[in-house]
């Protein structure tokens, strides 16, 4: 009987105005999603554009202008970090 009562409570929790759901888990899900998305976009913009290279890149390639790391830059030995 306690399982059925708790299941009924979980299924009908948001029906009492929904405040508990909006201020509780929905807020946490929203914050985690926003932070993860911002972090992904930042890493995607600043990592090396050579496939399978996760190094952070701050040097634009002289031909196409995409950011590449010092290892994949054509003038890598002269590029200052």
Q: How confident is the model at residue 59 (pLDDT cuts 50, 70, 90)?
A: confident
- The burial of 15, by beta-carbon neighbours within 10 Å (0-12 exposed, 13-18 middle, 19 or more buried), is given as exposed
**pLDDT in the model for residue 33:** 97
Q: How confident is the model at residue 79 (pLDDT cuts 50, 70, 90)?
A: low
**pLDDT in the model for residue 39:** 95
Token pair listed for 41: 């976009």
**pLDDT in the model for residue 17:** 62
CA distance 39 to 10: 33
Those residues with Cβ within 8 angstroms of residue 74's Cβ, 6 or more apart along the chain or in another chain = 61, 62, 63
Tell me the pLDDT tens digit for each residue of 6-56.
666 666 655 566 666 677 788 899 999 999 999 999 988 888 888 888 888
């Amino acid at each position: 009987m306690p399982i059925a009562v708790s299941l009924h409570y979980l299924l009908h929790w948001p029906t009492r105005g929904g405040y508990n759901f909006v201020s509780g888990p929905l807020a946490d899900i929203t914050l985690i999603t926003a932070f993860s998305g911002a972090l992904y976009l930042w890493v995607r913009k600043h990592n090396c554009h050579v496939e399978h290279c996760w190094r952070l890149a701050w040097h634009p390639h002289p031909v196409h202008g995409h950011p590449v790391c010092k290892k994949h830059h054509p003038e890598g030995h002269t590029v200052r970090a």
